[in-house]
Structure formats: C-alpha cells, structure tokens
Amino acid sequence: MPVSTEAVLRALSSVVVPDRGKDILRLNLVKGLVVKDDRVVFTILLKDPPASFAENAASLCREAIRKETREEVAVDITVDFEMISLDMHDGGSAKSVQPEGVVNFIAVASGKGGVGKSTVAVNLAGALRQKGYDTGLVDADIYGPSVPLMFGAVDEKPRVNAHRKIMPVERHGVKLLSMGMMVDPQKAVIWRGPMVTNAIRQFLGECAWGDLDYMILDLPPGTGDIQLTIVQSLALTGAVIVSTPQPVALADARKGVAMFENVQAPVLGLVENMAWFTPPELPDKKYYLFGRGGAAALSKELDIPLLAELPIRERLRESGDQGTPIVFAEPESVSAKLFGELADRVVHQVTVRNATQAATQKVEILHKGSAPA
C-alpha cells in the first residue's frame, strides 16, 4: 500500500522537541515534504537546535514513520540549520518586526464590512486556544476595532513590562491587543496607509507575545492600500476570507482572494457567515436570507476550500455584545461547534502547507548599504 501524507503527518506530530515541549510540525520545522508511493522525503529545518535533538531528529522521525505506516518506506531526511539573519540596516527591514516566538500568522479578511470578520476572528482564536494552541489575536481593524468589546476588554490599557515591551491583555487564555486600546478610532479614521502599517509593526515588533502557535489578525475590511501594506509587512502563513452569501459580498471576497494571491500569501479558505437562519421554534427549517450556496460556488470556482458555513444565531450576536465569545460562553452550542470545526480545518490546512512548502531560502547576512533581500 502506498503511504499517505496524512499518515506521515500523524507520525511526525509525535516527534517532540524536548526543550520546547512541542512537536516538530507544530513548531513548523518540517519543510519540503513529499510523499510518493513508498518514498518519503523532507527536510528538518532547525533554528536554534538543542544539540542532542539535532543529532537524533532524523532517527526519531524515521522510527515514528515506520511505527505509524507499518510499511517498508524509504525515508530520506535532511537536517538543516537556518542561518540567523543579521539585519544591519538602519531602521531594520520589514521582516524584523515579526515576533520571534510566533509560528503562524493568520489574517482574517473580508472584502466588505459587517460580514462577521471580527466574530470569526475572535471565535477562531478562542477555539484554537480551547484546542490547546498558544494563541494571540491582533485587532488591526483601525476603523472599527471590535475585539475589545467582543472579548470584554473595553477598558483595558495594555501595560509595559520591565523590558519596555507592551504586554498583551489576556482573556480566556488568548493574548490580545487592539488598535482600539491604543488610539482613538475617531482620530484613526483619517490615518494614511503608512501610519497604520507603522502602528501594526509596533504591535508586532514591540509587544511581549511570547511563544505562540497562532497569531490571528483581524484586518480592516476591504482590499485597499492599507490592507496591502499590512499583509506585505509580515510573512503571512495564510488568510481566511469571510463573506456572506450576498452577491456584493462575494464579489468583494473575490477581490480579497486576488489581493492575497498577488502578495503570495496563501488563502487557506472561505468562511460563509450568516449562511442561513433557523428559527428556534422551527428547528428543521433553514431560511437563506442572504442567498444560498454563493460561497460554495465561489470556493469551487477558485479552487479554495470552504472552511465553514455559519448560520445566523441570535446568541452569537449577543455573546459578542456581552464580551464573551460564544466558544467560551456556550461551548456546547451549534455556533461553538462550528467554530471548533473551523479551527480544526485551519490547523490542518496550515500544517499541510507548512510541511510541504520548500525549505526557506537561507537568509543572507545583510550589511549596511547592501540591497535588502
């Protein structure tokens, strides 16, 4: 029997880096995975390797794959070391704002406002946390920051730690920061792209995020310059695009997909929000208030996964307004379960993409005056 990628991923998820207490997939150390017939090829890219693990990494992986697949497989593993980039430019490069300890950056975006982007970002972050992932949430929606309201952190002012780094606020185990905690949204509406980008860069580069598996970014709606500058100033792992089934929203979602493709950030999938309404007294009925099946058709056309279809639920809206995301307020509810499934799909997409991508080009050491890479 040919070996499946899934089986290899399962095997690799059991190989834990002792000092970090997390497995090599979760830490995004596996690159260029190719599984074909009875051959498995990949690179383990170590950043900051505990010497003993570097020595054993390949044999631990080989053993895990044998155990999982119970087949005769040819396993070809290269152990490589990522070079540290010493950026000597004045002011630093765009990359230098990326917080060191964050493995994955996921943007939640929409073409149109009011489609439920923040609701999805907040509950996706919550669901990831519930599944044991270290998760942060950045509310980059400078025009309508709603994360503080939805997470019950409206009056929070982030503090600065002894190293003069801004400390994220923590709610239900999720670390969060919002533009709304730092600037008056009334003033921010007239900000230009570079100001927003600088503020975001500060959020990322000057905050004490610690080690995170996922950082979720709630982007401002639309596909203008501001969105573009934000997504270009960090190496996004991928984007989740939220839309309602309405044709106008879908047309804008399509623009969103195009924007991410232009900057080579993979679109992980679409989420259709407000997909239907089921009145509590008519539990078997589905009313498609905003149209039906639009996101499914778009996902097929663009060959992008449909990650979730979320119905309109009064409790979902209320929980947001009351400051406890539904995944925490009512973990057994329909909405919470759907957000849990969304989180599983996002993790799956990210894991497969991270592992099958080519190993990053080794970063050259930049000297003053040389062209940025």
- Interface residue list for ligand ADP (CB under 6 A): 110, 113-119, 144, 146, 221, 273-274, 310, 312-313, 316-317, 320
Q: Report the residue number whose CB is nearest to Mg ion.
A: 118
Assess 69 for contact with Mg ion (CB under 5 A): no
Dihedral Cα 139, 141, 145, 148, nearest 10 deg: -10
Residue listed under structure tokens 């533009």 = 179
Assess 123 for contact with Mg ion (CB under 5 A): no
- Nearer to ligand ADP (CB atom), residue 15 or residue 109: 109
Contacting residue, 69, 146, 273, 349, with Mg ion by CB under 5 A: 146
Assess 118 for contact with Mg ion (CB under 5 A): yes
- Nearer to Mg ion (CB atom), residue 26 or residue 117: 117
Q: Which region among 116-124, 185-193, 227-235, 267-275 touches Mg ion (by CB under 5 A)? A: 116-124
* Residues in a beta bridge with 254: none
- Nearer to ligand ADP (CB atom), residue 112 or residue 201: 112
Q: Which region among 102-110, 111-119, 254-262, 361-369 touches Mg ion (by CB under 5 A)? A: 111-119
CB of 77 to Mg ion, least distance (A): 44
- Nearer to ligand ADP (CB atom), residue 213 or residue 309: 309
Nearest to 9 by CA among 55, 52, 40, 48: 40
For every residue of 170-197, DSSP letters joined together read EETTEEEEEHHHHS-HHHHTT--HHHHH
Q: Are 46 and 82 in contact (CB under 8 A)?
A: yes
- Nearer to ligand ADP (CB atom), residue 191 or residue 277: 277
Length of the chain: 373
* 325, interface contact from Mg ion, ligand ADP, none, CB < 5-8 Å by kind: none
Q: Give the three-class secondary structure for 162.
A: coil
Dihedral Cα 167, 343, 338, 252, nearest 10 deg: 90
Q: Which region among 125-133, 140-148, 171-179, 293-301 touches Mg ion (by CB under 5 A)? A: 140-148
Nearest to 150 by CA among 319, 9, 18: 319
Q: Within 13 Å of residue 37, how many CA atoms lie on the same side as its CB? A: 1
CB of 157 to ligand ADP, least distance (A): 22
For every residue of 227-276, DSSP letters joined together read HHHHHHSS--SEEEEEE-SSHHHHHHHHHHHHHHHHTTPPEEEEEEEEEE
- Nearer to ligand ADP (CB atom), residue 144 or residue 340: 144
CB of 113 to ligand ADP, least distance (A): 5
* 274, interface contact from Mg ion, ligand ADP, none, CB < 5-8 Å by kind: ligand ADP
Contact residues for Mg ion, defined by CB under 5 A: 117-118, 141, 146
